[in-house]
Amino acid sequence: MGTIGRVSAEPLTRRARLELLYCLAGIPLGLCVMLVPYLGVGVALTVALLTPGRELTPVAGVAAITALLLLVVLATRIGRGLGAVHRRLAARLLDERVAPPPPPRPGRGVLGRAVAGLRDGPGWRAVAYQLLKLPAAVLESYAVYLWAAGLVNLTYPFWWGLFRSQPPGVTLGPVPAASPFPGRALHIATYAGTFVALAVGATMLLAAPWATRAVVTADRWLLRRLLGPGPLAQRVRDLEQTRALAVDDAAARLRRVERDLHDGAQVHLATLAMHLGMAKEQLGEDGDPPDVARARELLEAAHRGAKDTLGELRDLARGIHPPVLDNGLQDALATLAATSAIPVELRCDLPERPAPAIETIAYFCAAELLANAAKHSHATLVTVQATRRDGMLLLGVGDDGVGGADPARGSGLSGLGQRVRTVDGRLELASPPGGPTRITIRLPLRP
């Protein structure tokens, strides 16, 4: 489908429909916000009107001030309540999921609660949203107007004949039709003119989804900014999440080390001790052993076991912390590249060494990504680069393989992403089916 096809089909998409619905719902919500201050003023006015005579006007004044104070005190609560409605609406219709802000601090007593309400930052942000929703609602009504008026304009040619069959000699005035500018109507006097209305209507309908989207996009931005948890609370939430990930990751790694020791070195050593014990038995306390060949065989097995255990322990130690990392990421990556199953093109340009923890994370990411490439990509060349960009360590691993890497399919990528996030790093993946795959990891130089 070409661009023209896409543009002309846009008004029919589900997304456009849902956004229109959101605008429609936004109009009464925006208006209802406008009512809130008027309620306060209304109370004051009612009191003023109900008090006869001039001498009682102070009562009206007091009532007005009380209503105003009440409004200020309750503003954050009202803001939060309406904010929740907006968040739900946005989640339902726009799929824009904004986390709720942290609950306000509870206050004790009437005064305490009033003060808590006044000091409720997220509550005031919600109020700000409601105020900004007013102009937004005006724009949203314009978007709705484009839809509705456009549709009406389309119908002009069909009913023209029904109402314009006046006897000859009678002149009827021109009929107004909507234009894209509300308040400036088109005037249709002839049947041919109805096609102008139709054309204008079609144009308005084509423009309507884009106008809607523009307004909704602005509204989304406001929603995220003002009805979300706020930057600090969001940061706390992120840190809580990444801390949990880091703790889980550390525990999982310890478990893996224990498992490796248990299934590897410990078994080897137990077997080795068993072989030595058996050999000792064969050799006896003193004198010539009855079966020298058997004893020799057992010693041979023990010797082999000792060497295997050494290798096992060396691999395990390297898995915990590769000693070559002490010389810097450059050397460590070069070692990795040299042992990779696929040829690696390495480019390393780090004028200053990142913190050891960052180097370790970068190293293990590179190791895992190289292993992934060797396992899944069918690539003939992998490029690895470690550079510094914008004060961050940038680790790029790309290959010319088949692509289609998907973190959801458990290729260890989501685990890497989590580990990277624990230090506020980011992992970006581009791996379309058919390749190539390119993974970019950004890490701060200091954790």
Chain contacts with another protein (rule: CB under 8 A): 259, 262-263, 266-268, 270-271, 273-278, 280-281, 294, 305
What sign for the dihedral angle of Cα 235, 407, 423, 387?
negative
Strand pairing class (392-399; 437-444): antiparallel
Residue closer to another protein by CB (options 263, 345) is 263
Q: Which is nearer to another protein, 272 or 361 (CB)?
A: 272
Least distance between another protein and beta carbon 418 (Å) = 24
Task: Between 152 and 269, name the residue whose CB sits nearer to another protein.
Answer: 269
Work out how close the CB of 281 gets to another protein at its nearest, in angstroms, rounded to a whole number.
5
- Compute the CA torsion angle 314, 318, 321, 323 (nearest 10 deg): 90
CB 297, min distance to another protein, A: 10
Residues sharing a CB contact under 8 Å with residue 337, sequence separation 6 or more, in sequence order: 344, 346, 370, 384
Comparison of 266 and 411: residue with beta carbon closer to another protein? 266
CA atoms within 13 A on the CB side of 49: 6
By beta-carbon proximity to another protein, the closer residue of 182 and 277 is 277
CB of 247 to another protein, least distance (A): 22
> Please, which residues have CB within 8 angstroms of residue 151's CB and are 6 or more apart in sequence?
201, 205
* Residue 212 Cβ vs another protein, minimum distance, rounded to whole Å: 56
Q: Is the CB of 248 or the CB of 263 nearer to another protein?
A: 263
- Shortest distance, position 278 Cβ to another protein, whole Å: 6
Nearer to another protein, 179 or 271 (CB): 271
CA dihedral over 66, 68, 70, 72, signed as positive or negative: negative
Stated as kind and residue range, the H or E segment containing 168 is none
Q: Toward another protein, which CB reaches closer, 9 or 270?
A: 270
Helix (H) or strand (E) holding 444: strand 437-444
- The structure tokens 């102070």 sit at 58
Least gap, CB of 315 to another protein (angstroms): 16
Helices within 264-385 (DSSP H only): 265-283, 292-320, 329-339, 356-372
The set of residues, in sequence order, having a beta carbon less than 8 Å from that of 283 and lying 6+ positions away, is 289, 295
Min dist CB 445 to another protein, Å, is 40
Q: Residue 64: CB partners within 8 Å, gap ≥ 6?
A: 40, 41, 43, 44, 47, 48
